[in-house]
Amino acid sequence: MTRLSVNVNKIATLRNARGGDNPNLVKVALDCERFGAQGITVHPRPDERHIRYQDVLDLNEVITTEFNIEGNPDERFIELVKEVKPAQVTLVPDAEDAITSNAGWDTIANKDHLKELVNTFKEDGIRVSIFVDPDPKMVEGAYEVGADRIELYTEPYAEGYSDDREKAVADYIIAAKKAEELGLGLNAGHDLDLDNLRYFAKQIPNLLEVSIGHALVCDALYYGLENTIQLYRRELT
């Protein structure tokens, strides 16, 4: 069964909007676990506009499910991940001014850089996932630099789902089969929601984990956090 990792960035965004500590990020993350989340994801950015670097340290003290730290591997990010030693680090090629992730790595053009990063994190026993577009060549490039997993960038799928879901998912099936052929673990994330998640999960072979934040938090405004997490878990069964 595909595991659900809840990205709590939007909780931090809400907290930061007023300053102070309401909502309390650690409490929400622990509640997510209690309500059925099988992992917690954070994506600290250099300007700390949502997740702060201190949040990562605080969460690491209490998270009992799988902790996944994703982000652009600049020097500060690398130091943070090596200090925390989460179960998984997901490498994302974000520009500093990006509102949200909008592309996967070119694993061929960045082969040497990614290989060095993978080795750096693996030295500390951290599983490494590389964020990629659904392109078999990029999947193969992730394998060649030594990644343990890839995370498929699913915004294009989500955008095309309502018009033609079979067309929207086609490239992802091909990429997933390439990952399976190479022995790479497979994650996915970005704009997956209660409308498009079930179909994606049913079509993609060996999907180990999805990371969902924005849509899940939006749904929680209407359905409540506990119920929302259970609704997402149900889509993955």
The pLDDT tens digits for 144-193 are: 999 999 999 999 999 999 999 999 999 999 999 999 999 999 999 999 99
From the list 43, 50, 140, 235, the catalytic residue is 43
> How open is the CA angle 216-86-79, to the nearest 5 degrees?
110
Residues 35, 140: Cα–Cα separation, whole Å = 36
159 belongs to the catalytic site: no
75 belongs to the catalytic site: no
Contact 3, 66 (CB under 8 A): yes
What token pair was written down for 179? Answer: 């990952």
70 belongs to the catalytic site: yes
Tell me the per-residue pLDDT of 202-228, one tens digit each, with 9 for 90 and over. 999 999 999 999 999 999 999 999 999
Tell me the per-residue pLDDT of 65-115, one tens digit each, with 9 for 90 and over. 999 999 999 999 999 999 999 999 999 997 665 555 568 999 999 999 999
Rounded to 10 deg, the angle between the 25-34 and 225-235 helix axes is 50
Coil/strand/helix, residue 3: strand
From the list 33, 50, 66, 70, the catalytic residue is 70
Backbone dihedral angles phi then psi of residue 67, each to the nearest 5 degrees: -100, 125
Please, is 3 exposed, middle or buried when counting C-beta atoms within 10 Å of its C-beta (0-12, 13-18, 19+)? middle
Domains detected in the chain? 3-235 (3.20.20.70)
From the list 151, 190, 209, 235, the catalytic residue is 190
Residue 15: per-residue pLDDT:
98
Query: What number of residues does the chain have?
Result: 237
The whole-model pTM stands at 0.95
pLDDT at residue 56 greater than cutoff 80: yes
What token pair was written down for 102? Answer: 């909008």
**What DSSP line would sit under 42-90, residue for residue?**
E---TT-SSS-HHHHHHHHTT--SEEEEEE---HHHHHHHHHH--SEEE
